[in-house]
Amino acid sequence: MHSESSSPAEAAETGQLDQSLELPSCVKHLRVDDKDVYLVGTAHVSKQSVEDVRTTVERVHPDTICVELCSSRHRALMDRDGWRKMDIMRVIRERKTPFLLAQLILSSFYRKLGDQLGIQPGADMAEGVRLAKETNARLILADREVEITLKRTWRHLGFLEKFKMVGQLLMGLMFAGKIDDDVIESLKKKDQMEILMDAFADEFPEVKRRLIDERDLFLAQKIREAPGQTVVAVVGAGHMAGIETHIQQDTDLAPLTVLPPKSNLGSFLKWAIPVAIVFLIAWGFLKEGQAHAMESAFIWIALNSVLAGLGAVLAWAHPLTVLTAMVASPFTSLNPMIAAGFVAGFVQAVIRRPTVADLEDLPKAITSLRGFWTNPLCRILLVVALVNLGSSLAAFISGGWIAARTF
């Protein structure tokens, strides 16, 4: 209940929080320009955090509620059946399978965590959204789009760093056991982006900058710009300090939403490798004759076929998909505009296109390692990823082999 002798705004004039509000200990009150901002530091897998959000809104009566969500995460959180509407063919055509696979791996971890704790991850944010509607407060989605965040992170990594990071991410598929209590306690204070950051921060300091530091700035500015005299902002506890540091300064968000250009090295290698292979085979023909050139060509074809086909087999692909990967890889590896994994994934999707039942089963399937391979949608994503990996390895190995025997 509010004290009759002191309103929140009057208490804020002195920089003090009105003690009669009896807000949770996780709430931080800030005076930003002419408005009162109440930061609610939550744990995304905590029942108590849901109560803290509800208590704060009921006692503060905000004009605006900010939540640490972007539009895509908001849709995913509020529409639990969104998987049913997925167009896997479109995902493959737009080359978004790696992004979707990363989301599924992360979702798998959080779903297992939620099952153990008896609460849906993100319930704190969902409560903020619900209360905004219930109280007619304005809702502000204050976080940067997750796709922009991940792309900015990815494109600021070096070529070798990307390989190492993908390897660690794929290891997440192996995390199928029960999550111990110590891990759970440490994760209660972190959000999904921080989980990623913790895994890579020591080896990849650039990851922390993009996933955490930039989002602290983004969140602080969005909360600062929020309309109304009283604002409640529901954010992960790990962002509290950063937001408090930046919220008093006006920040231009445009630079934080610009995607950096793709790596010049990556673009160079896409064309350099096929050109080099053709040159080496031609040079071998001129130096050693037709037999030498044919042997080099055989090395290229055989390694691409075997490793791409092996990737398809490891993904439990249909035999026709395996054959497609083996036939396509030697040619797609010479054409930077198309990848063997996308060709194989398209064939797998045509042969075993996911049904509505498969999509409905997706949330349950991704909670186990076996589910990733048995669910048809997950299997398509694995086909794309593993065939592309096999094809890429074949290009490097066979290219080195051909160069060595030529010179």
Q: Are 251 and 278 in contact (CB under 8 A)?
A: no
Give the C-alpha separation, 305 to 391, whole Å: 8
Residue 264 CB partners (closer than 8 Å, separation 6+): none
Binned at pLDDT 50, 70 and 90, residue 235 comes out as very high
Spell out the long-range contacts of 177-183 with Cβ–Cβ below 8 A and sequence spacing 24 or more. 178/116, 179/112, 179/113, 179/116
Any idea which of 52-61, 274-283, 371-380 has the lowest mean pLDDT? 371-380
What amino acid is encoded at 152 in this protein?
A: R
Cβ atoms within 10 Å, residue 166: 15
Query: Rounded mean pLDDT of 378-384?
Result: 87
Local structure of 2: helix, strand or coil: coil
- Of 16, 42, 41, the C-alpha closest to 29 is 16
Tell me whether strands 27-32 and 35-42 are parallel, antiparallel or unpaired: antiparallel
Binned at pLDDT 50, 70 and 90, residue 363 comes out as low
Percentage of the chain surpassing pLDDT 90? 38
pLDDT of 390 over the 70 cut: yes
- Token pair 């696979």 is found at 101
- Integer angstrom CA distances of residue 366 from 120, 289, 375: 15, 53, 8
This prediction's pTM: 0.69
Cα angle, residue 159 at apex, residues 373 and 268 outer, rounded to 5°: 110
- Integer angstrom CA distances of residue 49 from 73, 109, 344, 392: 19, 20, 45, 45
Residue 165: the pLDDT is: 67
186 dihedral zone (left: phi>0; alpha: psi -120 to 50; beta)? alpha
Q: Would you say the C-alpha torsion 313, 319, 325, 326 has a positive or negative sign? A: positive
Which runs of E-coded beta strand occur in 184-244? 230-236
Rounded to an integer, what is the distance from CA 204 to the centroid of its chain? 16
**Packing angle of the helix pair 290-314, 340-351 (nearest 10 deg):** 50
Query: Rounded mean pLDDT of 390-397?
Result: 91
Query: Rounded mean pLDDT of 13-17?
Result: 44
Binned at pLDDT 50, 70 and 90, residue 123 comes out as confident
Residue 182: the pLDDT is: 54
Give the C-alpha separation, 250 to 220, whole Å: 9
For residue 298, give the DSSP letter.
H
- Token pair 């994934």 is found at 345
